[in-house]
């Protein structure tokens, strides 16, 4: 089997809440998502997706995806897409870095591999563990009272895990965490995620002020060194996200005992091939994981569900249902939350079918 054609689509996905805000004044009003379609000489077609959370979150931006694939794609024509490791290494050979560019291509290859094998991707990743995977809900940065109201509303939708966006001034962030923590139920989990928005002295003030609350602290500072300083003086369980951008960073952080859990964003590692390696290292090292991506539709959500559902349940800290943040669904048979949890699709490959009428014309065509 060979890759015959690579098609790239751009689609703007409206947000259910109208906007999404997080630390340092960052905000987006819609997802600028890129869909990749890989066609083979044997008629199998695979899909992948990547959707950066704006241009100022990770070192990734939406237009860069399309430009990167235009650069990289010609080197992939003729490769066997079911040889996912070979494709991954070929992408690294011809494009240094830029894992977010490679992620939708890698995802589409896994989709084809699953179809060729006649099984869901979750089977190829080890098999589903348990009935479903618990999802968290990110709560957009706002006034403390409004964030508490938002938590209550999403609790009514079945969520029991909440990621509170913080990362502004010290006093307001303390008030945000305290207000939401005051209304938490015994079976719920609360994470205060600063997305690197605090300086270390601010983070230390906050973790000491909320030390008696049942809350996890996630990525308080921008750099690894700052986070390690805070970690060593904090009593709360610690989660790292942006600082863990590769296997080397993970191994260093584990050696330093820098965190209790990490966030695995598929696109941050360049696709399912490397994300699976990170997942398996975490299982061997006893590190809990949130499995997610920075954004996207039901295509990304399906990939998340396959990786998360095939992860041993004990190591699953959280999971993201990205498509629940949207006011538009572009993929049929995509996972949807039931009682706060999602399950991996059961169809072969990703198990979802993009709505071609919504994708429009390809903006890049290779092959």
Catalytic residues: 165, 265
The DSSP symbol for 321 reads -
CB atoms within 10 A of CB 40: 20
CB atoms within 10 A of CB 130: 14
Q: How far is CA 300 from CA 36, 42, 49, 248, in A?
A: 11, 25, 6, 25
Residue 352: burial class (beta carbons within 10 Å; 0-12, 13-18, 19+): buried
Q: Which helix (H) or strand (E) holds 10?
A: strand 3-14
* Helices marked H in 19-74: 62-72
CB atoms within 10 A of CB 363: 14
Residue whose C-alpha is closest to residue 191's, from 19, 362, 22 = 22
Radius of gyration, CA atoms only, the chain: 20
The set of residues, in sequence order, having a beta carbon less than 8 Å from that of 80 and lying 6+ positions away, is 1, 2, 3, 86, 87
Residue whose C-alpha is closest to residue 81's, from 41, 51, 120, 126 = 41
Q: How far is CA 276 from CA 25, 164, 304, in A?
A: 33, 27, 11
CB atoms within 10 A of CB 316: 19
Q: Are strands 353-354 and 331-332 parallel, antiparallel or unpaired?
A: antiparallel
Region label for 345, one of left (φ > 0), alpha (ψ between -120 and 50) or beta (otherwise): beta
């Amino acid at each position: 089997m060979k890759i015959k054609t690579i098609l790239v689509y751009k689609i703007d996905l409206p947000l259910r809440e109208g906007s999404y805000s997080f630390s340092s004044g960052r905000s987006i009003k819609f997802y600028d998502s890129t869909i990749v379609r890989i066609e083979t000489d044997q008629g199998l077609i695979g899909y992948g997706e990547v959707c950066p959370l704006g241009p100022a979150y990770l070192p990734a931006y939406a237009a860069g995806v399309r430009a990167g694939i235009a650069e990289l794609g010609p080197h992939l024509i003729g490769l066997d897409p079911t040889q996912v490791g070979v494709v991954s290494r070929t992408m690294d050979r011809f494009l240094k870095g830029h894992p977010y560019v490679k992620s939708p291509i890698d995802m589409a290859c896994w989709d084809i591999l699953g179809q060729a094998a006649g099984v869901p991707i979750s089977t190829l990743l080890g098999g589903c563990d348990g009935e479903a995977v618990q999802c968290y809900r990110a709560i957009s940065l706002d006034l403390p009272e409004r964030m508490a109201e938002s938590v209550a509303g999403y609790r009514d939708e079945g969520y029991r895990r909440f990621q509170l966006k913080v990362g502004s001034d010290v006093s307001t962030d303390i008030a945000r965490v305290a207000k939401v923590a005051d209304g938490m139920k015994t079976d719920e989990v609360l994470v205060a995620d600063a997305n690197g928005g605090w300086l270390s002295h601010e983070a230390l003030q906050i973790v000491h002020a909320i030390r008696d609350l049942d809350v996890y602290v996630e990525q308080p500072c921008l750099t690894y060194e700052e986070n390690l300083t805070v970690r060593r003086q904090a009593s709360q369980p610690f989660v790292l996200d942006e600082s863990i951008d590769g296997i080397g960073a993970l191994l260093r952080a584990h050696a330093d005992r820098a965190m209790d859990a990490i966030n695995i964003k598929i696109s941050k590692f360049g696709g399912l091939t490397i994300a699976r390696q990170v997942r398996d290292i975490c299982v061997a090292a006893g590190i809990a994981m949130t499995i997610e991506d920075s954004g996207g539709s039901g295509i990304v959500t399906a990939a998340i569900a396959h990786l998360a559902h095939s992860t041993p349940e004990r190591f699953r800290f959280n999971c993201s249902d990205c498509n629940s943040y949207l006011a538009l669904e572009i993929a049929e048979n995509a996972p949807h939350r039931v009682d706060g949890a999602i399950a991996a699709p059961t169809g072969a490959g990703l198990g979802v079918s993009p709505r071609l009428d919504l994708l429009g014309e390809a903006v890049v065509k290779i092959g």
